[in-house]
């Protein structure tokens, strides 16, 4: 019996410090995968000429994909900047537009940039240890690390959410988060 519980503990464990989540599939995104995401194309090319560091990793667990099922994942976004713009995730809308998502901050400091697809209205939500961010449906979302250590977060979303990167990549988010005088400042792109 004890062995049974031990194997379950292994099967369903999460460790944000070690960036470990059992049963998941890992996706790694490097600087070169984020072409067109940053505002300053000259700084982006200069940074890429110096190397292609990993910007973030996501471990996604997809236990079932029926109606009503959920998927979940652990993300880690490393600290850094391209020009004055903080490291960020590509950002996406859900392919099933009405699908929402819950992010739970684990470690580090940063934000989520949300943009309503229909109105274009933006919102910046703090994401860090102990912070919960609710992403409503029909909302493009991107994670941004404004700190000096990796930002880790846990996300839960409907199994049928899917990712639509194309729509937001075509025009990019309307706002950018840049460092000015050592502080994050939200600006129009």
Contact set with ligand S6P (CB under 6 A): 29, 58, 73, 75, 89-92, 101, 143, 155, 157, 161, 163
Rounded CA-CA distance 74/61 in Å is: 9
Cβ atoms of residues 43 and 31 within 8 Å: no
Binding partner of residue 150 among Zn ion, ligand S6P, none, CB cut-off 5 to 8 Å per kind: none
Residue 100 corresponds to which tokens in the numbers above? 């929402």
- Minimum CB–partner distance for residue 120 and ligand S6P (Å): 18
CB of 127 vs ligand S6P, minimal distance in Å? 10
Q: Which of residues 53-112 bind Zn ion (CB under 5 A)?
A: 101
| 58/104 with CB nearer ligand S6P | 58
Shortest-Cβ-distance residue relative to Zn ion: 101
Least distance to ligand S6P, CB of residue 42, Å: 23
Closest CA to 98 of 33, 20, 151, 162: 162
C-beta closer to ligand S6P: residue 89 or 106: 89
In the block, tokens 């994670």 appear at 143
Burial profile 95-119: b = 16 or more Cβ within 10 angstroms, e = fewer: eeeebbbebbbbbbbbbbbbbeeee
Interaction partner, residue 89 (ligand S6P, Zn ion, none; CB < 5-8 Å by kind) = ligand S6P
Q: What is the DSSP string of 38-88?
A: SS-HHHHHHHHHH---EEEEEEEE----STT-EEEEEEEE---EETTEEPB
Of residues 9 and 165, the one with the C-beta less far from ligand S6P: 165
Where along the sequence are the contacts to Zn ion (CB under 5 A)? 101
């Amino acid at each position: 019996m004890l062995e049974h519980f031990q194997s379950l503990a292994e099967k369903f464990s999460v460790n944000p410090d070690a960036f470990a989540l059992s049963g998941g599939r890992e996706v790694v995104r490097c600087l070169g995968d984020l072409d067109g995401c940053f505002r300053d194309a000259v700084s982006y090319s200069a940074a890429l000429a110096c190397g292609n560091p990993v910007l973030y990793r996501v471990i996604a667990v997809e236990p079932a994909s029926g109606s009503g099922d959920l998927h979940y994942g652990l993300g880690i976004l490393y600290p850094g900047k391209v020009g004055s713009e903080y490291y960020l995730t590509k950002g996406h809308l859900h392919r099933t537009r009405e699908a929402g998502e819950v992010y739970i901050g684990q470690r580090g400091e940063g934000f989520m940039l949300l943009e309503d697809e229909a109105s274009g209205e933006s919102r910046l939500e703090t994401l860090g240890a102990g912070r919960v961010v609710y992403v409503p449906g029909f909302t493009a979302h991107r994670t941004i690390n404004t700190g000096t250590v990796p930002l880790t977060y846990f996300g839960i979303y409907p199994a049928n959410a899917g990712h639509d990167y194309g729509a937001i990549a075509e025009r990019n988010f309307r706002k950018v988060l840049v460092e000015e005088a050592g502080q994050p400042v939200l600006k129009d792109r």
